């Protein structure tokens, strides 16, 4: 029996968090009740939505499906968002519309396209740190630092703070550390963002946060600016870093796919799209709270219930994607890796740009690169994203 390639070893056809054994029925029908002790504060039921069309309907209707989690304490759950109080991710309209509108105008396609030379330079400078080594851990030395430095560049973190910013950002997403250590570090990062916002209020500089201060400084509170900085860092770092790590592993295991994908810019862009779909690193089942009785996939769901949208299952639906597995030359196939609706990932163009630059740069720098010892590859799945934790490679 041949063993499955490492990159495939997670069976993502099974719904993730909650674990498959907690599901009361086959998820293929599009919706299933989760038979685990998981009631909503009002005693409602919890449902897992697994069909792409139904997920689009849920995420596209914020009036019916709220993103504000009501916690047992009674307070709005925005404060429980992993990205901190007042974060876009925990808000509904009209607050969400106001803050997202300000951020979107600063996160323009032009700004992202303008970041291309910086991302290329960042990828090269990170690669140059181990260019002459024989071995490397591509998570710690490549997949983690590149997106952290890109976000520092995007936000306008002063160059004197960059190393410290990236070190802390790395600790904040390092799942090998105890949760307490990571939480402590996130709190310190939050306080760093507070300092940065005060400094930018005095001297805005050229980054995204500084531009926000310059143009909308009067309308935005310090807490909102800090939440935006935190959100961009946490939403953009761990996700992109997981995708880089998982993609590199997959391409190391499939040299012929690698050749097809990295042939030219257009093939790389196509391949990145299918990596996004197939790997669906943001594997967390997105929760929404139901605000009125509604029918999903033929099942009556009541006001007060909670629905969880499972991207990994929807993105590997065999009725939609044939073959289900990674196909670098696949014709553009719509997927849900970046979500849908009003919370659709704001950083999607940046994530795509980073992937399109870092993968060719890595394999061009180290044409003989290979997995060092398969047993050395370790995975993490205890967080919002799925990814490799260590990726030891021989570089020559």
Which CB sits closer to ligand HEM, 60 or 376?
60
Which CB sits closer to ligand HEM, 170 or 184?
170
For residue 248, give the nearest of 355, 147, 374 by alpha carbon: 355
State phi, psi for 52 to the nearest 5 degrees.
Answer: -60, -45
Which CB sits closer to ligand HEM, 358 or 395?
358
Residues 275, 33: contact at Cβ < 8 Å? no
Nearest-approach distance from CB 55 to ligand HEM, in angstroms:
10
Nearest-approach distance from CB 152 to ligand HEM, in angstroms:
11
Which CB sits closer to ligand HEM, 270 or 343?
343
Which CB sits closer to ligand HEM, 241 or 395?
241
For residue 134, give the nearest of 352, 372, 296 by alpha carbon: 372
Nearest-approach distance from CB 180 to ligand HEM, in angstroms:
26
Rounded to an integer, what distance in angstroms lies between the CA atom of residue 243 and that of residue 282?
9
Tokens of 98: 């106001």
For residue 311, give the nearest of 22, 92, 27 by alpha carbon: 27
Binding site for ligand HEM (CB under 6 A): 88-89, 100, 151, 231-232, 235-236, 239-240, 243, 281-282, 286, 337-339, 343, 345-347, 350-351
Residue number closest to ligand HEM, CB atom = 347
Nearest-approach distance from CB 326 to ligand HEM, in angstroms:
15
Which CB sits closer to ligand HEM, 238 or 372?
238
For residue 187, give the nearest of 83, 98, 335, 285 by alpha carbon: 83
Nearest-approach distance from CB 338 to ligand HEM, in angstroms:
5
Rounded to an integer, what distance in angstroms lies between the CA atom of residue 345 and that of residue 336?
10
Nearest-approach distance from CB 100 to ligand HEM, in angstroms:
5
Residue 278 CA from chain centroid, whole number: 14
Tokens of 47: 């449902």
């Amino acid at each position: 029996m041949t063993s499955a390639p490492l990159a495939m070893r997670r069976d993502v056809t099974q719904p993730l968090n909650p674990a498959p054994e907690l599901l009361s029925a086959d998820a293929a029908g599009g919706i299933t009740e989760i038979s685990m002790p998981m009631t909503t504060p009002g005693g409602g039921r919890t449902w897992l939505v697994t069909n792409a069309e139904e997920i689009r309907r849920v995420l596209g209707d914020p009036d019916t499906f709220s993103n504000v989690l009501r916690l047992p304490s009674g307070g709005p759950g925005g404060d429980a968002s992993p990205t901190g109080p007042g974060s876009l991710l925990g808000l509904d309209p009209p607050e969400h519309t106001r803050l997202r509108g300000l951020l979107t105008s600063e996160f323009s396609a032009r700004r992202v396209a303008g970041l291309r030379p910086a991302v290329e330079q960042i990828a090269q400078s990170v690669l140059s740190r181990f260019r002459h080594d024989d071995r490397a851990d591509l998570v710690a030395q490549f997949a983690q630092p590149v997106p952290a430095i890109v976000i520092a560049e995007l936000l306008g973190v002063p160059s004197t703070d960059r190393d410290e910013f990236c070190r802390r950002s790395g600790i904040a997403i390092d799942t090998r550390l105890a949760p307490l250590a990571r939480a402590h570090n996130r709190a310190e990062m939050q306080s760093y963002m507070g300092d940065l916002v005060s400094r930018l209020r005095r001297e805005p500089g050229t980054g995204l946060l500084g531009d926000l201060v310059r143009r909308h400084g009067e309308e935005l509170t310090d807490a909102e600016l800090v939440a935006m900085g935190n959100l961009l860092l946490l939403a953009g770092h761990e996700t992109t870093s997981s995708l880089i790590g998982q993609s590199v592993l997959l391409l190391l295991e499939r040299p012929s796919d690698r050749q097809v994908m990295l042939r030219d810019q257009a093939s790389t862009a196509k391949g990145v799209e299918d990596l996004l779909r197939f790997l669906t690193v943001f594997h967390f089942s997105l929760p929404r709270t139901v605000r009125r009785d509604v029918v999903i996939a033929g099942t009556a769901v009541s006001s007060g219930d909670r629905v969880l949208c499972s991207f990994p299952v929807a993105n590997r639906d065999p009725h939609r994607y044939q073959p289900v597995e990674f196909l670098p030359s696949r014709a553009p196939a719509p997927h849900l890796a970046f979500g849908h609706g009003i919370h659709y990932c704001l950083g999607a163009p940046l994530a795509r740009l980073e992937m399109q630059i870092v993968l060719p740069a890595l394999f061009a720098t180290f044409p003989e690169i290979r997995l060092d010892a398969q047993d050395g590859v370790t995975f993490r799945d205890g967080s919002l994203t799925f990814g490799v934790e260590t990726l030891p490679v021989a570089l020559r």
